[in-house]
């Protein structure tokens, strides 16, 4: 593929079995071939999206010492603020040119996960983040139902693992790139850790995907679309049947690189005890088992160590 295909979730949600199967086939094929799709018909409306971008920009505009008070020492960047230059892609030596904020699971009656951090300077910051988290979790759940059917599983196979799971909504700020930073890029080539990622803000140049020919292609969504990609957990679970594609955020031309860039991905994680053992129907003589058994929590910890966010 030389471009990222577009699919419409409304087809899957319709009562028309032909349209539903069309969506299952299209997203399944795309995730096997390139690992990315642009999704229309999701549950996030423009008003809420615009509100979140507004409060996020307000937060990143705060003075550094104010933002720093929301950075949790030893928290592995799982909640609250992570300052500029703290995260490094797996295998890279230069830190990514970004700072970010994490909203975590809001449906956590058993207190399994770190608590969300409350920002006091911006009145609707947390409430807006929680609403967007809910909309994107609902969207991701439907996408995983379609993928379950594509994998010849029960449609609701993922539901109990992901509803109330360890998902994260990340608000990213890529500041203007200084001349001395030109050798680094905004986000080095990497694969995502989780099951699937839903990205707001892939409407301008910067995000690139590596296709099967090892070519970098631009991944640009329309304004009413989310960019969705397979993460390493889902690739591992399906024994590489579904493709976790390497992607990056480059420094574009000089006019654009001198401006801030914002993007907001939702990382759909399962509950920590979900087994990521390769599915039996994804293993055969032509595609032997590639991974050892582990849980989602074990895999997450391993990757956070590799990213430099937590220490052994």
CA dist., res. 293 & res. 281, Å (int): 15
- pLDDT one-digit tens code per residue, 165-179: 999 999 999 887 665
Whether 41 maps to a domain, the answer reads yes
Whether 286 maps to a domain, the answer reads yes
What pTM, to 2 d.p., does this model score? Answer: 0.89
Whether 48 maps to a domain, the answer reads yes
Beta bridge partner(s), residue 39 = 7, 226
- pLDDT one-digit tens code per residue, 2-54: 788 999 999 999 999 999 999 999 999 999 999 999 999 999 999 999 999 99
The domain containing residue 289 runs over which residues? 6-306
Question: Is the pLDDT score of 88 beyond 80?
Answer: no
Q: What is the CATH number of the domain that holds 38?
A: 2.60.120.330
Question: Is the pLDDT score of 95 beyond 70?
Answer: no
Q: Is 197 helix (H, G, I), strand (E, B) or coil?
A: strand
Whether 311 maps to a domain, the answer reads no
For residue 82, the model assigns a pLDDT of 92
Q: Predicted confidence band at 163 (pLDDT cuts at 50, 70, 90)?
A: very high
For residue 141, the model assigns a pLDDT of 98
Neighbours of 296 (CB within 10 A): 24
For residue 311, the model assigns a pLDDT of 75
CA 99, 137, 15 angle in degrees (round to 5)? Answer: 145
Encode burial over 114-136: b for 16+ CB neighbours within 10 A, e otherwise.
Answer: bebbebeeeeebbebbebbbbbb
CA dist., res. 64 & res. 85, Å (int): 13
Beta-strand relationship, 187-190 and 36-40: unpaired
Average pLDDT estimate for 102-109: 91
Q: Predicted confidence band at 260 (pLDDT cuts at 50, 70, 90)?
A: confident
Q: Predicted confidence band at 254 (pLDDT cuts at 50, 70, 90)?
A: low
Q: How many domains does the chain have?
A: 1
């Amino acid at each position: 593929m030389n471009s990222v295909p577009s699919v419409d979730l409304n087809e899957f949600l319709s009562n028309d079995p032909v349209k539903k199967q069309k969506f299952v086939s299209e997203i399944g094929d795309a995730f096997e071939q390139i690992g990315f799709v642009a999704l229309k018909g999701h549950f996030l409306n423009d008003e809420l999206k615009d509100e979140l971008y507004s409060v996020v920009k307000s937060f990143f505009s705060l003075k550094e010492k104010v933002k720093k008070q929301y950075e949790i020492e030893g928290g592995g960047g799982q909640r609250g603020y992570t300052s500029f230059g703290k995260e490094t892609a797996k295998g890279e030596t230069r830190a990514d040119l970004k700072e970010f904020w994490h909203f975590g699971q809001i449906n956590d009656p058993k207190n399994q996960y770190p608590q969300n951090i409350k920002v006091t300077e911006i009145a609707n910051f947390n409430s807006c983040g929680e609403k967007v988290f809910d909309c994107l979790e609902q969207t991701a759940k439907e996408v995983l139902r379609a993928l379950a059917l594509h994998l010849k599983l029960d449609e609701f196979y993922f539901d109990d693992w992901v509803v109330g799971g360890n998902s994260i909504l990340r608000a990213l700020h890529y500041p203007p790139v200084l001349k001395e930073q030109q050798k680094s890029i905004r986000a080095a080539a990497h694969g995502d850790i989780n099951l699937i990622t839903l990205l707001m803000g892939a409407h301008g140049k910067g995000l690139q995907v590596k296709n099967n020919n090892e070519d970098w292609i631009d991944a640009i969504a329309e304004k009413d679309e989310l960019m969705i990609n397979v993460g390493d957990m889902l690739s591992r679970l399906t024994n590489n049947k579904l493709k976790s594609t390497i992607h990056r955020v480059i420094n574009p031309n000089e006019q654009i690189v001198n401006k801030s860039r914002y993007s907001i991905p939702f990382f759909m994680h399962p509950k920590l005890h979900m087994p990521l053992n390769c599915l039996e129907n994804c293993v055969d003589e032509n595609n032997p088992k590639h991974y050892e058994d582990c849980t989602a929590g074990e895999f997450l910890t391993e990757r956070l160590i590799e990213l430099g966010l937590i220490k052994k």
